[in-house]
Amino acid sequence: MSVTTGSGVTIALTAAQPATYDEAGYDTLFTTAPIPSKIGELIGGPELKRVYQLISYNLMDRKSTEKHKGSFDDGSFTLNLVYDYEDEGQLVAQEALDSPDAYSAMVTLPNGVRAFLQLKVFGFGFGAPDANQMVGATMDVQIVTTKTGVGVVVSEPA
């Protein structure tokens, strides 16, 4: 069994694009200088989840519903952060908010599993709910599929 906790999850983000949208291309992008910035002060990580559209119809002779998969959406997620206006990763995320372009991201789990993806930032804001909490930030992300049809690429640990 290869389970892991969420403690130690990191996300790195860059405006640069890999040479190829596969494990080798992303690995080169995230391990060659300049190394992309990790988003600091992460307190709530992403859920990567592809969802297919349901196509269904009812058969009159069997009274049953036939179900098929249609197009898919690689999903969205919200990151929860402690706001740090000097954090390089949060600055890149705010830059991505104002850009129409997709950014490259790498999510790394504590057990070494890495997920590479293209994303667009649709929201980034911060606020303080009360005097006894840190100023928090949220980042609203949409995962986008490349023009070649590649979505999330998962790399198993070596």
* Tens digits of residue pLDDT in 101-151: 999 999 999 999 999 999 999 999 999 989 999 999 999 999 998 888 889
Do you find a cis peptide bond into 34, omega within 30 degrees of 0?
yes
Kindly report the number of other CB atoms within 10 A of residue 124's CB atom: 20
Question: What is the residue extent of each domain of the chain?
Answer: 10-155
What is the model's pLDDT at position 116?
Answer: 97
Q: Which CATH architecture has domain 10-155?
A: Irregular (4.10)
Tell me the pLDDT tens digit for each residue of 9-38.
999 999 999 999 999 999 999 999 999 999
Q: How far is CA 10 from CA 51, 63, 97, 112, in A?
A: 24, 49, 20, 11
Note if the pTM is more than 0.85. Answer: yes
What is the model's pLDDT at position 149?
Answer: 85
Tell me the pLDDT tens digit for each residue of 36-56.
999 999 999 899 999 999 999
What is the model's pLDDT at position 63?
Answer: 87
Evaluate if residue 6 carries a pLDDT over 70: yes
What is the model's pLDDT at position 58?
Answer: 95
